[in-house]
Amino acid sequence: MSLDYIRAGTTEDAIAALIRGGDDAKVVAGGTALVLMLQEGFIAPRYLVDIGRIAALGGIRDVGDAVIIGATTTLWQVMTSPLVGRRLPVLVGALGRVATVRIRSVATLGGNLAHGDPRLDPAAVLLALDASVRLAGPDGERWLGLEELFVDELTTAIGPAELVVEIRIPYPDPSSRLTYRKLVGQTMDDYGVVNVAARLDVDDGRCRDARLVLGAVAATPIRVPAAEAVLRGAGIGPAVIAQAAELAREAADPVGDLRGSAGYKCDMVVVEVRRALTELASGPGGPATPAGRWSDS
C-alpha cells in the first residue's frame, strides 16, 4: 500500500486533508511515536498529514494568568523557555525525564498528549497543573481539560479530523508546592514504572487544595480524588501522607510487564506518593526531584 505525504501550510489545510483521508489519514508533527508505530505495523495509514511547518501551531506566550504553548513546540523548546523555567519549573523538570535529548529536540508537546500513552511524563504534570488543550476541526474549535482528553490507552477524545492547536497551562497559585517523581526500572530514559505528580496549595501549614496524579499505572493518567480529599484541609503530617498513599494504591490499576508485576507497581505507588508528599510537606517544592530507581526501594 502506498503512503502519501501531505505537508499542510495552514491549520485549515491540515483539517481538509484529514477530512479527505478519513480513517486512512494520520497527523505527524515530530513523528517520534508515529514512526515506531509504522515500523511495528501497529498502524498502516495511506496519508500522513505533516503539521510541523504550520507557524501558527508553534511558540510560547504569556497571557497573564497562564502560558499558552503551541502544539508543535518541541519539548526542548519548552524546557529551555525562560518563561516556562521561571513560572513552571516543575514542568521543565518533568520534560527533562522524557527519553533522550534527541527525542526531546524533535517530539512536540501537542503530539505527546495526542498520542495518549499513560506512561509519558508530561501528561501527569499537566493534569496536576489543570492544563487544557484547544482543538480545531471541521466543526470549529473547542477546549478540553486533560481529564476529558484521555479516554483509554492510546485513545483520546480528539476527533478524526481534529488537531491539537495549543495547550493552556494556568500559573500555579503562589501558595502551590509542586513536584514530579518517576521511578524507572532499567535505564534513565525508559518509561516510568510509576509516575507521580503532586501539587499542594498550602496556607498557614494546612493544605487548602491538592492534586495527586498517577501515570503508568492505569490505562490513562489518573487523578486520585479520594487522596486529594484526605489532603484537603489537613495539616500534611505522616499519618495523612500514609493515608493518601494507600488511597493512591487503591486507585492504581497497573499491568504487569518487564518493568515489574502489577503488585510491585502498586507497592511502588505507595512509596513514590509518600516521597512526593513528604517532600512537599517540608517546603515549597520546585523542579522535579530526581526519580527513584530499583535500588531506591
Per-residue pLDDT of the chain (297 residues; tens, 9 = 90+): 689 999 999 999 999 999 999 999 999 999 999 999 999 999 999 999 999 999 999 999 999 999 999 999 999 999 999 999 999 999 999 999 999 999 999 999 999 999 999 999 999 999 999 999 999 999 999 999 999 999 999 999 999 999 999 999 999 999 999 999 999 988 888 899 999 999 999 999 999 999 999 999 999 999 999 999 999 999 999 999 999 999 999 999 999 999 999 999 999 999 999 999 999 998 754 333 333 333 232
295 φ, ψ (degrees, to nearest 5): -75, -5
For 166, the enclosing helix (H) or strand (E) is: strand 163-170
CA gap 207, 218 in Å, rounded: 27
b/e code 147-163 from CB counts within 10 Å (16+ = b):
eebbeeeeebebeebbb
Query: Cell 504487569 identifies what position?
Result: 256
At the top level of CATH, the class of 60-170 is alpha beta
Does the domain spanning 4-50 belong to CATH 3.30.43.10?
A: yes
CA gap 99, 106 in Å, rounded: 11
Residues contacting 251, CB < 8 A, separation 6+: 214, 218, 222, 224, 226, 227
Longest dimension (CA), the chain: 64
Among positive and negative, which fits the CA dihedral 214, 74, 65, 83?
A: positive
CA gap 120, 97 in Å, rounded: 10
pLDDT of residue 284: 56
CA gap 13, 51 in Å, rounded: 9
- CATH of range 176-296; options 3.40.630.10, 3.30.390.50, 3.30.930.10, 3.10.180.10: 3.30.390.50
User: What are the start-end ranges of the H helices in 156-291?
Assistant: 225-231, 238-251, 262-282
User: What are the start-end ranges of the H helices in 59-189?
Assistant: 75-79, 82-87, 89-95, 101-104, 109-115, 121-128, 146-149
pLDDT of residue 168: 98
Amino acid at 296: D
Look up residue 173 and give its three cell numbers: 497559585
Residues contacting 122, CB < 8 A, separation 6+: 75, 91, 94, 95, 98, 109, 112, 113
SS3 of residue 281 by DSSP? helix
User: What are the start-end ranges of the H helices in 105-218?
Assistant: 109-115, 121-128, 146-149
pLDDT of residue 188: 81
Q: Give the pTM.
A: 0.93
SS3 of residue 229 by DSSP? helix
Look up residue 284 and give its three cell numbers: 515549597
Look up residue 267 and give its three cell numbers: 507497592
pLDDT tens across 14-62, in order?
999 999 999 999 999 999 999 999 999 999 999 999 999 999 999 999 9
CA gap 129, 124 in Å, rounded: 9
pLDDT of residue 286: 38
CA gap 280, 179 in Å, rounded: 7
Q: Where are the domains of the chain?
A: 4-50, 60-170, 176-296
